[in-house]
Chain A
């Protein structure tokens, strides 16, 4: 493979959880930082409660809009099972940032399958770096369960050499003014500050 310096972030979750806002925020921030950026999302059928994935790529020059197996520097997951589903996309030394929420998919709801046990522990035992936290509780204490996406972005921000002010200003560009304070709070709770 052609070696290049492109960095890859995958955002995975369940349709309707707000991953499009997370990728919008990252795209905005990274463009401001002077990178070439590509963000790829899937609309339509897959958004109806199905497994959804968004790719964010940045670097000097980005070609492919998607991330392939073994290429993600980060997987940001809104849900445990979805983190496990996309594990193969992570670089061996990549990191998973995951919300510990469990959302049963329909095959589990109907009893056709069971929700796998101890997913985070098992990923860790493979040597994967997993940063797991209860983002739903943090989002609720920030004021809305819908702010899980921004809590996750707060957590992710710990691994980037970009100032909190720049993250917050990018949030300001991406959310309506009336939700700014809520999202600011959610971001800082996620970041752990």
Chain B
């Protein structure tokens, strides 16, 4: 049946059709929906793991048990999962093991623009790269075949425009392969030096075989056209190239981007007058071509950074662009903001008021860095707030204690904040860590995590108690506060900053967008009392603006959280009961 499907949903469909049995992932835009959609199939066991390393090891275990398994993540997640990745390349698999990594050129929702194709080369693993939803579904099925035939994990690389575009998919039935019986095989699966040294040549031989296979891989194909221009491309770049050139160029469309074919490329190059490589991010296909001795254009004309588009390719290849209207003035930007009623706002306001140095982390709360709160000094990667605050405090030799804090969300804390806290407890820095517990993984669209008490299907599950966890790690001071109560937040913050030992503050209130959270009626402004002092504007709440010199509340956005009314000295912001 033909359906319009998101690339990620089509990927999940591929998992279903290929007979995948076990899925373990950590959410990350633009990869999240692969696992969410897979969880809709009752035939597949799916879970959110605490982080990508755990998830990949779960999938590896399922493969060892002889079932087809899967693990999905965003590009930076693969950094976390890199440890098992490199050695799983040596062990190979029993049941097929497929890994999805979703890159984010243009950084729609990411902290860097890394090109995950480097991981395929570095870990010596085959990598497939679909260019639309139909290919996503199809490539996953081929990935399992390759995984089992060549005894290797296989990476399928998505990018934002493939993951988050819908296109037509023709679905098929699920075919469940027979489980492979478990047998102990220590030489293959115990990676001690003595065993691993014998596995390395196996990996090299596999790469040679896969390189030969790449010449015949059905997903590396030549599309005929004018031979004056030859284009080698893959993924969404193929779509842009096709849009611009149609049949006015000969195109080698690569579906397998590691290992890259040799003979196929040399034969293609021999047939065309000029060869151009169109690939987003790094010049990986281009460098391969140069290594084969070919003269090519690539990053000399196309950018290394950002997303491509049809106009960008047309322009760089000297073609005329369509005309358009232009308004001359610079328009005000519309950056993302913390939602009205977001529980993080009150906490960040308190941190800003106390002029804290705030080492931040990855999640919705990164938006606390934006004006007017400007409440964050650093954001690096998942978990870095907790580890870095320790280093910061040690380096300052106590000079910044009482002023510097780490802030990290509940899900991010479970992902990789815990180990940083273990370091604080062990090596004893007088650090204050604030866990922003909104009872969900927010930014990626509300995924459950080990602290929420629910699993991926929304069913009751194990629940880790953050207070007990922190205490068990050796943190004696653990305080809980409600971020809607500014006075209480301020009191707790001052108290913990002043304490002469490590401490954790749990700022606890569920995300206001969660369905079970009941909001209050919107506040209203008493215009006789409002003097237009703009005190409430310091919160950066999207529901509050100034109109004719007085505060105005957007009643469609306001959730009645009441944080703004605590800042109003004139009692001009009122709830329904007042």
Contact = CB atoms under 8 A, between A and B. Distances in A.
A49 B339 contact: yes
Contacts of B326: 87-88, 126
Interface residues of A, number: 64
B371 A65 contact: no
A46 B444 CA distance: 11
Contacts of A1: 244, 310, 314, 319-322
Interface stretch (A67-75, A159-167, A176-184): A67-75
A68 B248 CA distance: 20
Contact of B327 (A2, A104, A108, A126): A126
A110 B371 contact: yes
Contacts of B321: 1, 69-70
Interface in A16-48: 16, 27-28, 31, 36-48
Interface stretch (A89-97, A149-157, A185-193): A89-97
Interface residues of B, number: 65
Interface string B498-524: 000000000000000000000000000
A175 interface: no
Majority secondary structure, B binding face: loop
A91 B322 CA distance: 8
Centre residue among A43, A81, A114, A115 by max chain B CB count within 10 A: A43
B537 interface: yes
A126 B325 contact: yes
A115 B321 CA distance: 31
Centre residue among B108, B165, B248, B556 by max chain A CB count within 10 A: B165
A69 B322 contact: yes
B334 A82 contact: yes
Nearest to B556: A145
Contact of A37 (B108, B168, B544): B168
B165 A37 contact: no
Contacts of A85: 331, 334
Interface in B286-330: 309-312, 314, 319-327, 329
Nearest to B542: A49
B246 interface: yes
Contacts of B336: 15, 45-50
B246 A2 contact: yes
B439 to A, nearest CB: 18
A132 interface: no
A179 to B, nearest CB: 16
B332 A113 contact: yes
Centre residue among B246, B324, B370 by max chain A CB count within 10 A: B324
B335 A105 contact: yes
Contacts of A37: 4, 166-168
A153 to B, nearest CB: 16
A106 B242 contact: no
A108 B331 CA distance: 10
Given A43-B109, A45-B108, A50 B320 contact: no
A33 B30 CA distance: 30
Contacts of A38: 132, 165-167
Contacts of A71: 310-311, 322
A122 interface: yes
Given A38-B166, A40-B165, A50-B336, A64 B243 contact: yes
Nearest to B242: A63
B164 interface: yes
A88 B327 CA distance: 8
B161 interface: yes
A178 B310 CA distance: 42
A119 B331 CA distance: 10
B30 A44 contact: yes
B545 interface: yes
B168 A31 contact: yes
B443 A45 contact: yes
A14 B30 CA distance: 20
Given A1-B320, A37-B166, A45-B443, A31 B542 contact: no
Contacts of B324: 69-70, 87-92
A11 B30 CA distance: 20
B236 interface: yes
Contact of B166 (A14, A39, A50, A105): A39
B7 to A, nearest CB: 9
B325 A31 contact: no
A78 to B, nearest CB: 12
B264 interface: no
A81 B334 contact: yes
B243 A84 contact: no
Contacts of A109: 537, 540, 542, 544-546
Nearest to A72: B324
A85 B166 CA distance: 24
B179 interface: no
Contacts of B546: 109, 111
Given A27-B166, A45-B109, A81 B331 contact: yes
A70 B322 contact: yes
Contacts of B236: 64-65
Contacts of A112: 332, 371
A50 B324 CA distance: 24
A115 B248 CA distance: 45
A99 to B, nearest CB: 13
Contacts of B240: 63-64
A109 to B, nearest CB: 5
Contacts of B246: 2, 4
Nearest to B544: A109
Interface string A115-146: 11001001100111000000000000000010
Contacts of A90: 324-325
A50 B332 contact: no
A100 interface: no
12 contacts: A15-B336, A39-B167, A40-B161, A44-B30, A44-B444, A48-B338, A65-B162, A70-B323, A105-B335, A109-B544, A123-B325, A127-B325
Interface of A: 1-2, 4, 14-16, 27-28, 31, 36-51, 62-66, 68-71, 81-82, 84-85, 87-92, 104-116, 119, 122-123, 126-128, 145
Interface of B: 2, 4, 29-30, 32-33, 108-109, 132, 160-162, 164-168, 236, 239-240, 242-246, 248, 309-312, 314, 319-327, 329, 331-339, 364, 367, 370-372, 443-445, 537, 540, 542, 544-546, 556
